[in-house]
Amino acid sequence: MNSEADLIVPDWPAPDCVWAMSTTRSGGFSLPPWDSFNLGGHVGDDPAHVEKNRLRLAELTHLPRSDFRFMDQVHGTDIEEFPGPERVQADGCVTSQARVPCLVMTADCLPVLFCNRDGNRVAAAHAGWRGLCQGVLECAVARFDDPASVMAWLGPAIGPRQFEVGAEVRERFVERDPEAARAFVPGQSRGRFLADLYQLARQRLQTAGVTQISGGYWCTFSDADRFFSYRRDGVSGRMASLIFIDPSR
């Protein structure tokens, strides 16, 4: 195993019964280029190494491995109620049941974790630019009774100085919300823009009624020692961001 797991624990005002974290690339069993804590089973890594990493994740959370569901993420807006089937195609999950982990995997896309003020409902969403533009975060917030009671944490994603996109991406966001233009600045190439996923997510969440928003200050692309990045490396592992309710805490 490659060193101890380097875990990111959210600094946010969640209730004590809510347990959340993001993994990094350290602390697992995979070999390069997936070294070492790769949790993605669809990226070409040895399946035996992936399963050892998933078992390690279960140990870190003190939850049974059988309770974990790793969704097939498709850059859409579907939010699945957990516990659910063994295999599900969705880009978010939500639960009110204790000790049921909601988990998304990323390697540049934005993971967003949610809980309500009472700590009796949690969710996780995978927000690449497509899902973010189509409303995956709004769909997650809609699965709570009161958006004003929801708090969100923005996990590790590609930063605003590295995420260059075409003009058509900017146009799609601005068509939905003119304020989105503030999250884009001209890139180095003509007709290209640097996009701030964190700012776009904050705008969408605030419009949906969420005012308590934390996190959002990493760059997976720039920190190769700590994070996987698909855009940087092409062949890359996947990190997990997860959240669950633990009444014993």
Determine the pLDDT at residue 191. Answer: 87
pTM of the complete model beyond 0.85:
yes
HSE-up (13 A, CA, CB side) for residue 196: 16
What distance in Å separates the CA atoms of residue 68 and residue 81, rounded to the nearest whole number?
A: 13
What distance in Å separates the CA atoms of residue 137 and residue 141, rounded to the nearest whole number?
A: 6
Angular region, 34: left φ>0, alpha ψ -120 to 50, beta rest:
alpha
Determine the pLDDT at residue 86. Answer: 79
What distance in Å separates the CA atoms of residue 111 and residue 218, rounded to the nearest whole number?
A: 12
Determine the pLDDT at residue 248. Answer: 84
* pLDDT tens by residue, the chain, 249 residues: 556 789 999 999 999 999 999 999 999 999 999 999 999 999 999 999 999 999 999 999 999 999 999 999 999 999 999 998 878 999 999 999 999 999 999 999 999 999 999 999 999 999 999 999 999 999 999 999 999 999 999 999 999 999 999 999 999 999 999 999 999 999 988 889 999 999 999 999 999 999 999 999 999 999 999 999 999 999 999 999 999 999 987
Angular region, 30: left φ>0, alpha ψ -120 to 50, beta rest:
beta
Whether 244 and 100 have beta carbons less than 8 Å apart is answered as yes
What distance in Å separates the CA atoms of residue 89 and residue 72, rounded to the nearest whole number?
A: 5
Identify the CA nearest to 165 among candidates 145, 185, 143, 180.
185
Over its C-alpha atoms, the chain yields an Rg (Å, rounded) of 17
Q: For domain 18-157+210-245, give the CATH number.
A: 3.60.140.10
Q: Which two tokens stand for residue 224?
A: 């190769």
Q: 6: part of which helix (H) or strand (E)?
A: none
Determine the pLDDT at residue 40. Answer: 97
Q: Which residues pair with 221 in a beta bridge?
A: none
How far apart, in Å, are the Cα atoms of 13 and each of 9, 118, 153, 183, 226?
12, 11, 10, 26, 25
Identify the CA nearest to 127 among candidates 109, 150, 145.
109
